[in-house]
Structure 1
């Protein structure tokens, strides 16, 4: 499993509209092959800043399956107008706890 972590900075005063539009756009990402789940969090300290965490079966599911699909173009068209700056996206894998000797994925 891969975690996509994205920092989203929304234009001042547009958070409510962004959140409403995100709920609509979420169906697009959720219908992508390899998608597992997602969570959108709003920053407490910085107004109009969000953290999007998406679980994917693989990095390829995100970078190829979603990002090269027509669904991604629709996703961008729905959400990009709200961004103050391009989102910062990174991918993470889980590391095993110190006492876990099972093989890594």
Structure 2
């Protein structure tokens, strides 16, 4: 399992519209092979900044399977217009479990 991490800088004033679009986009990513779970959190200090964490079975499930799919184009059409600047995405291997 790997965790995809992205800090999403949403254009100020578009947070409500972004959240509505993300609600739609969530069903797209959740249907992808290798998808495990997703969380989206909003910053308290900077309300136009969001933290996206997605768990995938493998790195390739995200980088090849999802990003190379027609579904990713739908995801992109729904969400990418909200970002300024475009977010950097990283991938992490777990070191400690969530709870023992």
TM-score grouping bracket, smaller chain normalisation: over 0.9
* 1:37-67 CA-partner distances (Å, limit 9, x unpaired): 0000001111200000000000000000100
Q: Could you state the TM-score of these two structures normalised by the residue count of structure 2?
A: 0.93
Structure 1 unmatched runs, 5+: 98-105
Q: CA deviation at 1:24?
A: 0.4
CA–CA distance in structure 1, aligned partners of residues 24 and 96 of structure 2: 35
Partner of 2:15: 15
Partner of 1:95: 95
Q: Could you state the TM-score of these two structures normalised by the residue count of structure 1?
A: 0.89
Partner of 2:30: 30
CA–CA distance in structure 2, aligned partners of residues 48 and 40 of structure 1: 12
Bigger mean CA deviation after superposition, 80-89 or 49-58? 80-89
- RMSD of aligned alpha carbons: 1.4
Q: Which has the larger radius of gyration?
A: 1
Moved >6 Å (runs of 4+): none
Q: Secondary structure at the match of 1:65?
A: helix
Number of aligned residue pairs: give it: 98
Partner of 2:77: 77
Q: Secondary structure at the match of 2:6?
A: strand
CA–CA distance in structure 2, aligned partners of residues 96 and 37 of structure 1: 17
